[in-house]
Amino acid sequence: MLALNHWRDLCGYRTLAAKTGGACLSALFSSLLFSAAHGAETPQQPSEFRSVAFPAGTPFYPLMAAPKEARTFISQHKMNSDFPNATNVASVGYGGHFGLYKFVKDEQREAWQISFTAGLFAQFNLDQPSDDLVNADYTFGFTLTHRRDALSSRFRIYHQSSHLGDEVLLNHSLPVERIDINYEALEALVSYDWSQRWRFYGGGEYVLRQSEATSLEPLMIRTGVEYRGADLGGRAARLVGGLDLASHQELGWQVDRSFKAGFELGGREPGGRNLRVMLALYEGHIPYGQFFTEKASSYGLELALGF
């Protein structure tokens, strides 16, 4: 187009056929040389990242079925295990990902985000008159997340410490050994969204530092799948479910299984505001710090809030 426009300017539309045949050929030749030297079109500059302070949500959507994902929830379970004289157990969790800074490239649906991540996970023995606190796990750290189209990833460095409840420590009839669960770990996960309904993820963790009394083997691997159905009746409600599989080197690579399924109300964006009511099933080693060497199976209901 640049060559043609240059030629037309030199020749003129009205005198092209009658007066300037030779001149037009010469002008056309010179304009082609001009185009070859400068390019037919000016290449578009790639879009730049824009920055957002304190963004909502996270590019890597929180895991739905992982027992200790930083989130806010309350659940009640029937448990079959040696968990201190407890058959009816309530679990509560408080936490999430607080975005600090985000870099977004809208045209390519790409984003990087740095967040502060923290969570508290506590368990209560509902078989005791005072609903005794059994164990509490505290986690906090920093998270780097990335997304480009359907592919996302999460890198998190965090600290965890676990503490037994006072009633458990004071009840000398319980064979409970105090274990100092205190360590820092690095987590790396990759996720792929398929057909806007299915999600597959995998990765693991590596313990970077731990107290001398902890002495854990450092590796853990995790994989899972999630499903988010179509909106029901055109409303902000849908069927959801997830299966999370985890295996720890410390426990001989035996697989712990967590399955959740139910309804989600609210925005469809997995990292946005929503409410989930789900059936929760678990089989494997107890995911609560002080009792991680014991096995259990459980079923119950969970109410989770997304922010």
So where are the chain's domains? 2-38, 50-306
Whole-number Cα distances in Å, 157 to 140, 208, 303? 9, 9, 27
- Say whether pLDDT at 67 is over 60: yes
Res 216: pLDDT: 86
Q: What is the DSSP string of 107-174?
A: GGTEEEEEEEEEEEEEEEETTSTT-EEEEEEEEEEEEEEEEETTEEEEEEEEEEEEEE-HHHHH-TTS
**Range of 69-78, 168-177, 204-213 with top mean pLDDT:** 69-78
Nearest to 270 by CA among 129, 12, 5, 71: 71
Res 102: pLDDT: 96
Q: What is the mean pLDDT of residues 22-26?
A: 44
Which CATH number is correct for 50-306, 2.60.40.10, 2.60.120.10, 2.40.230.10, 1.25.40.10? 2.40.230.10
Element (H, E) at 86: none
Q: Which has the higher per-residue pLDDT, 265 or 215?
A: 265
Predicted confidence band at 27 (pLDDT cuts at 50, 70, 90)? Answer: very low
Element (H, E) at 38: helix 21-38
Q: Which has the higher per-residue pLDDT, 288 or 64?
A: 64
Res 8: pLDDT: 43
Cα-Cα-Cα-Cα torsion 249, 122, 163, 178, nearest 10 degrees, comes to -70
Res 2: pLDDT: 43
- Say whether pLDDT at 292 is over 60: yes
Whole-number Cα distances in Å, 55 to 98, 112, 177? 8, 11, 43
Minimum mean pLDDT range among 61-70, 112-121, 165-174: 165-174
